[in-house]
């Protein structure tokens, strides 16, 4: 008879690290227990060779050193254990068309892509993560020493079309509205200014023009949604990458990416 599963959930934000009764009840209904803990993905607070499965989703794009986190995930997995991650290329989304943008001038579309790339590069330079790290994930799995690496693309899209009644569509529309209402994400002037300044003093000059365009495009979209005339296929690139910790692999992930190879010692990543 199989033992009940035990889930260990880690987050560096105290709010999420506290867990919730809803999640506890969910796992209990699956015949599993869950333990919530606050901690740093760069230095996982677990022993070597502990877990059968280690996973994260859209976490590595927010880390200053995602490769160190992957190395840690491999360390805490048992020999033969599975590690899998889901991480995106967010830049590709700036080329996804809607029925409103499909006839936009080429110059405007290229400016949108260029601005998104500036934001991503600036964020990465500040050590706050790479929003399109998913492209690099398979190579880093190989570098840290995983066996049997497999790479997939998620088939999930964020399609929006009238009458906008599915739960996913409703959630997406609420998220877009909240971003604009709260001035967060691409609408956050101070955040965008930090990212562009990190690239060089000449880059912030494009900020006001691009924020004005974002707000104008959002207003156009909101109006079309109210009129039930907005639609988009909503494709995104989300990589699903898995690997096995080989039982005979001589811990290349620990020795080959240690301090001697240009990586900080564990505890100082």
Q: Helices (H), strands (E): how many in the chain?
A: 9, 6
pLDDT above 60: residue 248: no
191-236 pLDDT, tens per residue?
A: 999 999 999 988 999 999 999 998 899 899 999 999 999 999 999 9
- Percent of the chain at pLDDT above 70? 91
Task: Quickly state the pLDDT bin for 176 (edges 50, 70, 90).
Answer: confident
Q: Number of C-alpha atoms within 13 angstroms, CB side, residue 161? A: 7
pLDDT above 80: residue 172: yes
Tell me how far apart the alpha carbons of residues 223 and 220 are, in angstroms, rounded to a whole number.
5
Beta-carbon contacts of 230 under 8 Å, excluding residues fewer than 6 positions away, are 98, 99, 100, 160, 162, 221, 224
pLDDT above 80: residue 100: yes
Strand pairing report for 77-89 and 237-244: antiparallel
Tell me how far apart the alpha carbons of residues 80 and 247 are, in angstroms, rounded to a whole number.
6
Q: Number of C-alpha atoms within 13 angstroms, CB side, residue 39? A: 15
Q: How far is CA 76 from the centre of its chain?
A: 21
Per-residue confidence (pLDDT) for residue 256, from 0 to 100: 31
* Burial zone of 188 (CB within 10 Å; 0-12 exposed, 13-18 middle, 19+ buried): middle
118-155 pLDDT, tens per residue?
A: 999 999 999 999 999 999 999 999 999 999 999 999 98
User: Is residue 117 within 8 Å of 95, Cβ to Cβ?
Assistant: no
Per-residue confidence (pLDDT) for residue 2, from 0 to 100: 67
Residue 156 Cα distances to 170, 174, 237, angstroms: 16, 18, 9
Considering the chain, what is the average pLDDT of its residues? 89
Tell me how far apart the alpha carbons of residues 54 and 147 are, in angstroms, rounded to a whole number.
15
- Helical residues (DSSP H) of the chain, grouped into ranges: 14-17, 21-29, 66-76, 106-125, 137-143, 167-182, 189-199, 207-226, 252-255
pLDDT above 60: residue 251: no
């Amino acid at each position: 008879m199989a033992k009940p599963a035990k889930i260990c959930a880690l987050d560096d934000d105290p709010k999420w690290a506290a867990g919730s009764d809803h999640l506890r009840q969910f796992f209990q209904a699956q015949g599993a227990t869950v333990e919530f803990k606050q901690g740093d993905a760069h230095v996982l607070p677990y022993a070597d060779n502990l877990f059968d499965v280690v996973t994260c989703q859209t976490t590595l794009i927010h880390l200053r050193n995602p490769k160190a986190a992957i190395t840690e995930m491999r360390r805490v997995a048992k020999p033969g254990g599975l590690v899998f991650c889901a991480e995106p290329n967010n830049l590709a989304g700036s080329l996804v068309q809607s029925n409103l943008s499909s006839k936009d001038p080429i110059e405007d579309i290229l400016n949108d892509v260029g601005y998104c790339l500036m934001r991503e590069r600036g964020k990465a330079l500040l050590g706050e993560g790479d929003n399109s790290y998913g492209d690099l994930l398979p190579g880093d799995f190989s570098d840290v020493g995983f066996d049997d690496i497999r790479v997939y693309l998620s088939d999930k899209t964020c399609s929006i079309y009238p009458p906008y009644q599915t739960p996913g569509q409703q959630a997406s529309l609420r998220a877009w509205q909240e971003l604009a209402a709260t001035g967060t994400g691409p609408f956050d002037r101070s955040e965008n200014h930090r990212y562009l300044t990190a690239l060089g003093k000449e880059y912030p000059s494009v900020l006001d023009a691009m924020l004005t365009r974002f707000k104008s495009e959002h207003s156009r979209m909101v109006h079309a949604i109210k009129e039930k005339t907005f639609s988009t296929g909503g494709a995104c690139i989300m990589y699903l990458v898995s690997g096995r910790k080989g039982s005979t692999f001589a811990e290349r992930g620990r020795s080959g990416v240690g301090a001697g190879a240009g990586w900080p010692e564990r505890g100082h990543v």
